[in-house]
Structure 1
Amino acid sequence: MKKRMLREETIAFSILFIMTLFFFFRIIFLRYYFFEDFLYQYYPRRNLLATSLRIGVFPLWNPFVFGGMPYLGDIENAVFYPFNWLLALFTSGGRLVFRVLEIQLILHVFFAGIFMYMFLRRLGISHEGSIISSIGFAFSGFIITHTIHLTLLSTFVYLPLVLYFLLRSFQERRVIYSLFGGFFLGLSLLAGGPQFWLHIVYYAGLFSVFLLVEKKKQWVKYVHLPVILFISGILVSSVQLLTTAGYTAYTVRESLTYAESVRNSIPFYQLLTLFIPKFFGYISWLHGDNVKFWTGGYGAFWETCIYLGIIPLILSLYAFTKKDRRKYTIFFGILALLFLMAAMGKYTPVYWIFYHLLPGFNKFRNAGRFSGVFTFSLLALAGFGFDNLSKGKVSLKPLLYFTGSLFLLFVFIFAGAFRNAWSAMTYQKVYSYSLKQTGIALLFLILSSTAIFVFMRYKNRYAYLIPALVLFIDLFSFGANFNVSRVNPDEFYSENRLVEYLKEDYKKEPFRVNARQGSYMLLRRNSGDIYKLELLQGYTPLRLKLYRELRQLPLNTYLDLFNAKYTIRVEERRMGLVLNQTYLPRAKVFYRWEYVDGETAYKKLKEGYDYHNVLLIGIKEDFPQPETTGTQRIEYTERGINRIGITVDTDRNGVLFVSLLNIPGWKAVVNGVEKKILPVDYAFAGIYLEKGRSNVLLFYSPPGLRTGLILTLLTLVFMIFYGVLDWFRRKNLTIKKKSI
């Protein structure tokens, strides 16, 4: 039995591996590259992590974007995800090798297929049915269109693995599998996609309820298993949860309105893309005859993609044709419908209920992302449907009804039934493209129906390979050109003369650069993480509220307070970087100050204030002000990403202003003694210094990090200890049975 299972797993994993290599052949072996957010956001951030770890520095703060912001607290940076630690081994010339990060993502697509196969086999679905559904999952429209979102995809692929261990814990009634499930639940959050982690948690919760109900009166003996899984999962990820919780309270995305949250909902008419995935256009960064996706704003294509191939749709119909395992098919069928309606966002009441009644959903936007759990549920149904087809005589009616209905729909489209349904269709190019895609969908309908019919007719050992291959070709045809470009990241982030000049000047003193004005950019977004230059711009959904508020100040005030030595200037048909003559240094001792509350300080700065000479302190202190302005000499002794060392010589008592956003976590030590950091000029850091020489050290220690790290480590130690005990216990039981 074990040898057979091992042989089947080897076959399944080999098929998935070969298909993964083929699907991403151009990325792996040719000069093609992942694009969009993968290049703009995830690569620069992983570059900072990899290059920092390479020199033995654990990045807690990121000084290179948005004037400085927490790095560890931003969960999408996935600092504690073990796969990201390995990136430190693959740096060259002070940069992370881009191809390595691409391979990391491709491996996660492969993992998606493996984990799906494992879960479906544990459900009792056949080897062949599990292969087909795992192919559908790994290369589904949802997975492939989210290859631009490294963290989201890296999190979501763990859904079937968490459910695998949850189910196994019930089947064998063993806590060890609950702990395994908890470990991977925690790992999925550490991968950096909190929205999809929330989906995993709720899905696992619903599956737990289903399994407990299935046990009927015996449920009390099993209820501890999902409880242990969820608690251990939270504890494993607590090092990230606590640091992120301490950070998000200060970000612009602490909560969203319902209108913001339902962005990228799937309208009813877009359900047509279940059958004709490119009917409304396509997104590709390769040259071709594509019509840009036109039903929705930028990003709607990948946020609302629900295509998973024709074959899984046919197979899912057969999931309900037999009473065998009917409870499971009803469960996954209900969830598929529920999550499809949730993905439709504002067009159904389901998402409204989720947003208002279920904790967590009011923190995220893009309702269409529920297409992930919809895809998973429908592919589980497809696995059951395949097995029903494999057993005995099966009616052709579901296949004929499905094929006939879609064929009639396609005939209506060819006849011009939808020509006036959308204004975009009045353009001949758009209309012709939609007809072409309908023709391609018709081809795959014929191929898929034929493949299913052939399997139903012959049902031999290898017949399943026909629908499996047709499904892969179908999904390859849809997704192979999506996240593929010819944009070379080394050229995209090349160091031109401007960058070289700024890096040389940055060696002399710390300063920031304002390199963007509206749509005009002299430096790429997040390129500070590549060049190690401190920029006032960046690209992340989790910006600090303080930064946004300071951005509303008059431009000169904003630039000066942020120590922006250089700023972009846009003139007719050209742009360049100019010296900001009035910028404040990174650190300066003030000898005059006023005590005002934060609201008053912000108002003064907005209306115009002599911030070059008078400091605004946000809390009342009894610091004696000198009668005259003193002299000062400042030297920067340390300029790390987490620490700033400053030696100050002054002949008067004063307050040291540091152009550093003053959020919880920053600490100051002066001459070996910890000092209180004062809120100055509304958002920045200040330290009262007595005359003479002061050796100042500012360092960032994220709130919650210490507690979270202790909880995570203790949990991992307990898991290992329990696992060893369980192994010895099982071994002793085996020995006793043999002796009897």
Structure 2
Amino acid sequence: MILVVAASVWLIAFLIAITRAVTLSEAKGLHFTDKILRSAQNDPVRDLIAIGLIGAATLGFFWRVIFGGAWMPAGGGDLAQFLFPTYSFAAEWLRHGVIPLWNPHLFGGMPFVGDIQSGIFYPLNLLTFFISSPLTFRDMELLSILHFLIAGAGMYLYLRFTIYDLRFRTLRLSRLASLAGALAFEFSDLFITHFGNLNLIATIAWMPLILLFYQRAITDRRASFTIISGILLATAFHAGHIQMFLFILIALALFAIFHTFKLDADKRGQTRMNFLFFRVHPRLSASNFILLAGIVAFGLSAPQLLPGIEMAQNTVRAEFSYIQAAEFSLPPAQLIGLVVPGFFGRGPQAAWGPWQRVEVGYIGILPLVLAMLALILRRDSHTRFFGLFALIGLALALGGYSILHGWLYQFVPGFGQLRAPARFIVLFDFALAALAAFGFDALLHALPRASEIAFKRFVRVAPWAFLLIALSAGATAYAILILGQGQDAVLFARIANATNALAFFILLFALSIALVCARATRFFRPRAWAVLALALIFFDLFSLGAHTDISDDDPTREYDHPGAVAFLQSQGGLFRIDPRGTGVDHFWTADTAILYGLYDVGGDNPLVLADFNRYWENYGSRSSRLYDLLNTRFLIGRKNIALDREKFRVAFDGAPGLNIYENTRVLPRAFVV
């Protein structure tokens, strides 16, 4: 609870500072000078109320975790098995005033600061480490939830305070439209799928704010906004997920290209603009500002970036082939998840299919319809750019199924060591959420004549399109369900779940089309329509996402081995334990050693040092002296494991499901030859 209060105070103060910064920028007449619009829209209190609604929505989404005693993700995932032990190790040493450069507890010892996944310099982690003593898994869950809020609040601020020059007017999006886009992004599929990958969502959650300050630096011609963007970029880096950080860099590069070729300056009759102490051509400003942001981010990230680069060159990831890098691509057949996320099962327990479970990019049905309307009704450069941005994100998410990802792997440094290209879908979702906000805002205002005509055509066609899709898809699904009753029970359950998911899509699609048609007929006042639209988005995303990958079982119970741990801790001298491949995966979690001050030849970390991994894979059998050289005194294995009984003896058999065997030929940690 202390963590929640402290983090909330920090976030509110931070958001107030952001709101004041961009509001004062406009008040000074730096760019946006329409007095009527400024007086109506520049009200930070109302924006904070909107952010408060996002906070309330976040609490409502995670009510089972916060108030109901449930646990996420089910089984713990990386949050329990990797990040919780890693953060606990960092917290313990930092509370003693020591920055742990080295982790001696796993894989025979490996760099800690050099492992960017450690998140050791991330401000919110540091706050948590010093407030929560000891760190608990519930703290980890609350940190994940907090980053949902940061993503939603950041997206709201991005949509609300970015200035758009349209073909027929210059505007900032309304609060309600920004709120719709924020909900669509915050509860999009990548965030739902990766609740347990705290460092992943913590990194990407900062992307909207980074892009906000970068764009405002260009439109307001203020280098100070670029510096803030660089600080936030460094913050995202320290959150500890290099793939998401590179995604943010790609987004920045695309925005820089867009602004480089956008002739805003011609509209103002300007030929030069200020950059620090110089006056440069407007076309150069985007690249100059991104360079400044990069310099600031590099300077603040260097303490972990430089050792991280060195470590990355010595891990197993440095030897990735393209086939490995293309693993966990988004199969084209799974694109049905954009509208029916549960077709192939959404949570890991229900997922099925001949491919790995990946994120599919669902942001809600009404947001998809609104995004389509934005592309139809708005012909400005911003809308076209976000449409192209979405296509690029989708093409990259296809991974091995599209050529674009292969080029990225081959020609862009850093991407050759990463896999799971399906995660690029977050760029697609970001663009779609922005387009949904554009479409939402367009329906709240009077449209130009050409757009009004296009909207009426859409309203005439949409109901018929809905009927065609609903009748054909619904009839087919129910026919397969009825005819499949005599099939295998598992197969029939999958058919039933897919049919149920499809039926819910049809319901949401019907409500979305009805709302759009109601707006066309002016059946509701704009504000009433907006509230209903937000309620539908809320109902859609929460109904399909709030109960995904959740359990009533505490995932940290797998660390509870009082007898075995007490026995190991009572043994004198330095030694390592070995639970690798011994049949105890369901009893002994890989990173248990780090929580109890033990030393392990294994662990759970994707950035294993290549040299150690090569040694482990080639030492032969456990009867080899090369095995003894690792200082492995105790082996943790199942009770009937086949071992060299002349070498290994049972030392402890008081734990259910496992025994501890002592290696009688173990060599010391270090010795003189």
TM class, shorter-chain normalised? 0.7 to 0.9
Q: How far off is 1:447 after superposition?
A: 2.3
2:69 aligns to what?
Answer: 31
2:161 aligns to what?
Answer: 122
Q: How far off is 1:483 after superposition?
A: 3.5
Question: Does the 8 A contact of 1:87 with 1:101 survive in 2?
Answer: no
Q: How far off is 1:412 after superposition?
A: 2.7
Q: Deviations over 1:387-442 (max 9, x none)?
A: 2212226424435645543543343333337959x999992221122111111111
Distance 1:205 1:425 in 2: 50
Tell me whether 1:527 sits opposite 2:618 in the alignment: no
Tell me whether 1:405 sits opposite 2:443 in the alignment: no
Distance 1:374 1:222 in 2: 23
Tell me whether 1:567 sits opposite 2:650 in the alignment: no
Distance 1:74 1:487 in 2: 30
Distance 2:217 2:240 in 1: 26
Matches for 1:443-522 after TM superposition, within 5 Å: 443-456=507-520, 457=522, 458-505=524-571, 508-521=572-585
Which SS does the other structure have where 1:513 is aligned?
strand
Tell me whether 1:293 sits opposite 2:341 in the alignment: no
Question: Does the 8 A contact of 1:525 with 1:537 survive in 2?
Answer: yes
Distance 2:533 2:430 in 1: 19
Distance 1:400 1:296 in 2: 40
Q: How far off is 1:306 after superposition?
A: 1.0
Q: How far off is 1:323 after superposition?
A: 4.7
Cα 1:225–1:582 change in 2 (3 A) is: same
Q: Deviations over 1:446-469 (max 9, x none)?
A: 222233334442243343121111
Cα 1:449–1:7 change in 2 (3 A) is: farther
1:312 aligns to what?
Answer: 367
Matches for 1:201-280 after TM superposition, within 5 Å: 201-215=249-263, 218-220=282-284, 223-280=287-344
Tell me whether 1:415 sits opposite 2:470 in the alignment: no
Give the alignment partner of residue 235 of structure 2, picking from 187, 209, 218: 187
Q: Deviations over 1:519-576 (max 9, x none)?
A: 4335211111211211112111100112211112122334311111111344548642
Cα 1:586–1:412 change in 2 (3 A) is: same
Matches for 1:334-349 after TM superposition, within 5 Å: 334-349=388-403
Cα 1:424–1:335 change in 2 (3 A) is: farther
Tell me whether 1:106 sits opposite 2:145 in the alignment: yes
Q: Deviations over 1:69-124 (max 9, x none)?
A: 111111111111111112223444xx412222211111110010111111111232
Matches for 1:59-208 after TM superposition, within 5 Å: 59-92=100-133, 95-123=134-162, 124-208=172-256
1:433 aligns to what?
Answer: 497
Which SS does the other structure have where 1:566 is aligned?
strand
Distance 2:422 2:514 in 1: 32
> Matched residues, percent identical?
29
Distance 2:203 2:467 in 1: 38
Distance 2:118 2:605 in 1: 10
Structure 2: gaps of 5 or more residues:
1-37, 163-171, 272-281, 642-656
Which SS does the other structure have where 1:516 is aligned?
coil
Cα 1:323–1:380 change in 2 (3 A) is: closer
Tell me whether 1:356 sits opposite 2:410 in the alignment: yes
Question: Does the 8 A contact of 2:108 with 2:630 survive in 1?
Answer: yes
Q: How far off is 1:263 after superposition?
A: 1.1
Distance 1:88 1:267 in 2: 40
Cα 1:210–1:563 change in 2 (3 A) is: same
1:45 aligns to what?
Answer: 86
1:283 aligns to what?
Answer: 347
2:56 aligns to what?
Answer: 18
Cα 1:73–1:221 change in 2 (3 A) is: closer
Distance 1:436 1:200 in 2: 36
TM-score normalised over the length of structure 1? 0.74
Give the alignment partner of residue 432 of structure 2, picking from 374, 378, 384: 378
Give the alignment partner of residue 388 of structure 1, picking from 437, 442, 448: 442
> Given residue 372 of structure 2, which amino acid in structure 1 is its aligned partner?
L
> Given residue 162 of structure 1, which amino acid in structure 2 is its aligned partner?
I
2:9 aligns to what?
Answer: none
Distance 2:110 2:284 in 1: 47
Distance 1:589 1:557 in 2: 16
Cα 1:323–1:54 change in 2 (3 A) is: closer
Cα 1:403–1:85 change in 2 (3 A) is: farther
Distance 2:488 2:55 in 1: 41
Question: Does the 8 A contact of 1:511 with 1:563 survive in 2?
Answer: yes
Cα 1:222–1:154 change in 2 (3 A) is: closer
Cα 1:296–1:148 change in 2 (3 A) is: farther
> Given residue 156 of structure 2, which amino acid in structure 1 is its aligned partner?
Y
Which SS does the other structure have where 2:569 is aligned?
helix
Give the alignment partner of residue 330 of structure 1, picking from 384, 390, 395: 384
Q: How far off is 1:56 after superposition?
A: 2.2
Question: Does the 8 A contact of 1:419 with 1:425 survive in 2?
Answer: no
Distance 1:91 1:583 in 2: 39
CA RMSD of aligned residues (A): 2.5
Question: Does the 8 A contact of 2:189 with 2:359 survive in 1?
Answer: no
Cα 1:37–1:144 change in 2 (3 A) is: same
Tell me whether 1:538 sits opposite 2:603 in the alignment: yes
TM-score normalised over the length of structure 2? 0.81
Q: How far off is 1:60 after superposition?
A: 1.3
> Given residue 469 of structure 2, which amino acid in structure 1 is its aligned partner?
L
Q: Deviations over 1:697-720 (max 9, x none)?
A: xxxxxxxxxxxxxxxxxxxxxxxx
Cα 1:424–1:149 change in 2 (3 A) is: farther
Which SS does the other structure have where 2:52 is aligned?
helix
Task: Decide which structure has the larger Cα Rg and report it.
Answer: 1
Question: Does the 8 A contact of 2:462 with 2:513 survive in 1?
Answer: no
> Given residue 601 of structure 2, which amino acid in structure 1 is its aligned partner?
L
Cα 1:500–1:571 change in 2 (3 A) is: closer
Moved more, 28-37 or 376-385: 28-37
Q: May I ask how many residue pairs the two structures share in their alignment?
A: 576
Q: How far off is 1:585 after superposition?
A: 1.1
Distance 1:14 1:450 in 2: 29
Which SS does the other structure have where 2:292 is aligned?
helix
> Given residue 145 of structure 2, which amino acid in structure 1 is its aligned partner?
I
Question: Does the 8 A contact of 2:154 with 2:209 survive in 1?
Answer: yes
